[in-house]
């Protein structure tokens, strides 16, 4: 069964520093997609970055990059040069593409606090 694990309930980082948010996943499907979402205190879910299981390069989107280690089944989010506005909940999610009708499953999330 597909599962996402985020082991860090909370993380602290100083402004302008880099931070890594951990995500491991479990799946028996060879084809899947991994997603990271940000949820600020306003509650909206903001899509950040996507990594396909067959993508050979790590995904990057501006200050966000995804450290994809397929053998370890990990998909960590790296935020470079943290900003105060990065303070939010961050969720890792996975969709299996060949099984389970492509249902989308989330982890428990990590709350990131960025201090000045």
Choosing from 8, 11, 29, 33, the residue that interacts with another protein (CB under 8 A) is 33
Q: Is 76 in the site for another protein (CB under 8 A)?
A: no
Does 101 interact with another protein (rule: CB under 8 A)?
Answer: yes
Please pick, from the candidates 65, 82, 96, 109, the single residue that binds another protein as defined by CB under 8 A: 109
Cα separation, 109 vs 60, whole angstroms? 20
Contact 96, 29 (CB under 8 A): yes
Query: Interface with another protein includes 29 (CB under 8 A)?
Result: no
Contact residues for 111 (Cβ-Cβ < 8 A; gap 6+): 9, 10, 11, 88, 89, 90
Does residue number 105 form part of the binding site for another protein (CB under 8 A)?
A: yes
């Amino acid at each position: 069964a597909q599962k996402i694990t985020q082991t860090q309930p909370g993380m602290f980082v100083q402004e302008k520093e880099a931070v890594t948010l951990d995500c491991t996943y479990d799946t028996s499907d060879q084809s899947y997609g991994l997603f990271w979402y940000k949820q600020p205190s306003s509650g909206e879910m903001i899509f950040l970055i996507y990594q396909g299981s067959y993508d050979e390069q790590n995904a990057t989107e501006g200050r966000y990059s995804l450290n994809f280690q397929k053998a370890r089944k990990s998909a960590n989010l790296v935020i470079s040069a943290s900003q105060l506005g990065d303070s939010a909940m961050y969720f890792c999610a996975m969709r299996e593409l060949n099984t389970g009708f492509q249902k989308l499953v989330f982890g428990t999330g990590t709350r990131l606090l960025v201090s000045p």
